[in-house]
Structures are given as C-alpha cells and as structure tokens.
A and B are shown apart, each in its own frame.
Chain A
C-alpha cells in the first residue's frame, strides 16, 4: 500500500491491491460465515449440497485461491473426516445395499456419508476462504464490534500471539541445536536433549509472555485492544451480502422442493 497523507481517512488501513474478498469488512465476513453455516446445516439432498460446494469453490476462485490450494484443502479435510466417512455406510441402520457376513452396507449409510462429505468440505472451505486472510487483530476487533464478547476477542488475539511466540522460541532453539552439531537419532542423548528442549520451550515461552505482558502494561494496555482504523462498509460488502443472500435463498428453495433426504 502506498503510504501517503493524501489517502482519504476512511481508506486508510484498507489494502486496495488485495483480492476483493479481503476488502470486505471482517464483520460482514464473520456474519456471512455464521448465516451460511446455519442455513447449510439444515439443507439436504445431493443437488443442493453439490451446488453449495460448487458455489463455495467458485467463491474461493473469485477470492484468488489457486485451484491447487483448493484441492489440497479439500483433500486435507476429507482425510481428517475419513474415519467417519468409512464407518458411516455400515453402521447406519436401513435398507441393505450390500452385505458380506456380518457387515451390512446400507443405502442410508452411504447417503449420509456422501452428504456429510459435501457438507463438511463446503463449511470448511467457505470459512477459510472468508476468514483465512484475517490476522488475529482484525478478527478480534470484528468480534468486539459485533458485540460478541470482548473476552473472546482478547483470547483470539492473545492465543495467536502466544502460539507465534512458542513457535518462534522453538525455531530459535532448533537453530541453536543445529549450530551446536545436534543430529536427532534414536538414542539416550537425543531423547534427553529433546526432553530438555521441550522443558526449555515451556519455561522460556512463559518468561517471554511475562515480558510481553509487561511491555503492554507499560504502554497503557488495560484489557482492550484499541483499533487505529475505522471500519468501513463499502461496495465489496454490498456485493458479498447480496451474493450470499441470493445463493442461500436458491439453496433453501432447492432444498425445500427436493425435500429432505
């Protein structure tokens, strides 16, 4: 972003080069995710859910996601829920589709597994496409402005800061070990060293977090993260909301006509 005093005030803090979805106000995006999840939870039917996933992939592409990234994300989510997908077909009672000894695969079970696959993938992809680009501050501020919970917002901000800190400390120790010629092997020395690294990691991260708290206190922090840039609802927000409403209405209509599974 070009730094200039001439930029109109309301545009400050907005990255005009970013993909359009990143320019939608974080509050709008949070609300969008919330309503999308609510509506999708009640939907059923192959066509409806298939369209929902297709639409979400379209949104991700519109938000400048590379198709490869989308595919990877879908694979990861599917891998994570694979135990569910593999067990549902023969653990759901219903009309037997195929059986081998005591195992019975039911039609209902397969439908449930397939639709779960579609639903979960759609939800995760939609949520990451909308919220993935937000840093913890924007997310925290959006939570506060939506009057959700200042404490939750503070937790969001501090937890991510703390995770970063532990990671940073871990990287530092890894470098130190490397420089001092440590190569992990399966022996007593390696295990003892790794044990110490974990212990140090906890101690050092805790100490560092205390210093950070001290630094924040010194700068007048009193439990609320202040916000420098004003929030602004723009044309991107209107586009996002109207698009979302249209899609959700279409899906709900389809779901109603197709009937629940």
Chain B
C-alpha cells in the first residue's frame, strides 16, 4: 500500500464482511479494507465479483450477514447509523439513469444540499458553484432525461459533489464516456482532495489516480501484487 494516509485512523474500515443476496452463495466472503484520509483506492475485479455490492454495503444500502463496518470512527449497524455515513459519503452509481430524477439539471444538483437542510439560496449557490467548477453551466436548465449517457454521468458526478462529501465512492466513473470527456473526468478526479474508492476497469484512470489497487475476487479483496503472483 502507498504511503498516503497510513498511520492514522481510517475513515472507512471493513472487517471480515460477508454478504449474500437472499439464499444465493456469498458474493462477499470475508472482505476487509481500510480507506485513509486523502487516499485514492482503486478496486478492480471480474464482472459479477461484487464490486458494486461492496460500495452499497459501505453506505448501508445492503446489510452484511456478518462482519463490521466502521465509518468515521464509529461502528455502523442500524439504518439510522448510516444516515450520517450517507451524508458524508458520496456514491456515484453505475447506472446513472437511476440517480437523476429532477426536471432540470440545476434542481438535480440542489436536491442533495436541500435535503441536508440548506436554504434555497444556499442550495442555488452551491449548485452553481459546482456547475462552474466542472464547466457545465450550459446544462443548467436542461432536462436530465434528455441528455446523452456521458452527459448524464457528468451531471450525476456533479450532483454527488454538491453534497460536499468527505469520501467518494465512484462506481465506474468513466464508463460510456468519449475519449475527451474521459480525460476530463480523470483530471477532475485526480485533483479532488477527498479520499475515495474507485471501482473501474479503466487502466488509465487507475494508473493516474489510484494510490493503491485492490482486486475483488472470490469474495475477497486482494492486494493487486498478491493476486498477480497468482494468490
């Protein structure tokens, strides 16, 4: 593991987490990981290996069979424990279509801040700030349904940023993007100060951004070097 962040308390920590959908076989069988401040962690793995499931478990959308989840120094068990986690962790969904539902982009971006109790003026200001930061001002009054897949992903990313999260969980952030936008997103992610877990198959992205890489295979997270050696 790289130097960044080690030696302090982790922001997110999973210990021996087991998870299965209903009566199916376990998809996570003993996952452990620690995410430290400012650390950018890349996660790869074959299709269906449970990468998305892992992210959903961290924010409490799925409850593990066993194992502990510690976020921001507290163990999280109940639904109410995860309210704070979801406020401080921004999750970018793989299917961005499901993340967008407001009639205009600006309302989409303001949805999170308003939910966090910000006033209309504050939410408007935050939403505009993020639009400017990501150079998306042209989309302000557009309807999210009518955007292309790549544009939707940018808007979804922006709507995560407006929550001002401490930690980002990005599920395939560069999928479906054209070369130019992919580079831009990679650049944006590289400049972000937050700690993050990036699930991706995009080698360029992981090479230029991730401090460390993990591979999710057979329900466990392996250090990439370890799995390369055939472990």
Contacts and interface: CB of A to CB of B under 8 A. Distances in A.
A219 B111 contact: yes
A226 B101 contact: no
B144 interface: no
A228 B124 contact: yes
A9 B137 contact: no
Contacts of A221: 111, 115
Contact of B111 (A12, A226, A230): A226
Given A228-B120, A228-B123, A214 B61 contact: yes
B112 A219 contact: yes
B121 interface: yes
Pick from A5, A219, A220, A221 the residue with the most CB of B within 10 Å. A219
A113 B99 CA distance: 50
A12 B124 contact: yes
Interface string B76-96: 000000000011011101010
B98 A215 contact: yes
A214 B102 CA distance: 16
Nearest to B139: A3
Nearest to B107: A228
B114 interface: yes
B103 interface: yes
Contacts of A208: 95, 98
Given A215-B98, A217-B86, A227 B61 contact: no
Interface in B99-136: 99, 101-103, 106-107, 110-112, 114-116, 120-121, 123-124, 127-128
Contacts of A155: none
Interface in A191-220: 208, 211-212, 214-220
B39 interface: no
B159 interface: yes
A215 B91 CA distance: 8
B99 A215 contact: yes
Contacts of B59: 218
B83 to A, nearest CB: 8
A222 B83 CA distance: 10
A6 interface: no
Pick from A1, A9, A137, A220 the residue with the most CB of B within 10 Å. A220
Contacts of A220: 86-87, 112, 115-116, 163
B102 A137 contact: yes
B38 interface: no
A99 to B, nearest CB: 57
A18 to B, nearest CB: 13
B140 interface: yes
Contact of A135 (B103, B120, B138): B103
Contacts of B138: 3
A9 to B, nearest CB: 7
Contacts of A228: 106-107, 110, 114, 120, 123-124, 127
Contacts of B140: 3
Contacts of A9: 121
A215 B116 CA distance: 15
Given A220-B86, A227-B120, A211 B115 contact: no
A244 B86 CA distance: 48
A181 B155 CA distance: 35
Contacts of B99: 215
A89 B124 CA distance: 59
A137 B143 CA distance: 13
Contacts of A161: 101
A12 B93 CA distance: 29
A7 to B, nearest CB: 11
Given A218-B59, A228-B106, 20 more contacts: A1-B141, A3-B138, A5-B128, A208-B98, A212-B98, A214-B61, A218-B89, A219-B86, A219-B111, A219-B163, A220-B86, A220-B163, A221-B115, A226-B110, A226-B115, A226-B123, A227-B114, A227-B120, A228-B107, A229-B120
26 contacts: A3-B141, A5-B128, A137-B103, A137-B107, A208-B98, A211-B93, A214-B93, A216-B101, A217-B61, A217-B86, A218-B61, A219-B86, A220-B86, A220-B115, A220-B163, A221-B115, A222-B115, A226-B111, A226-B115, A226-B123, A227-B114, A227-B120, A228-B110, A228-B114, A228-B120, A228-B124
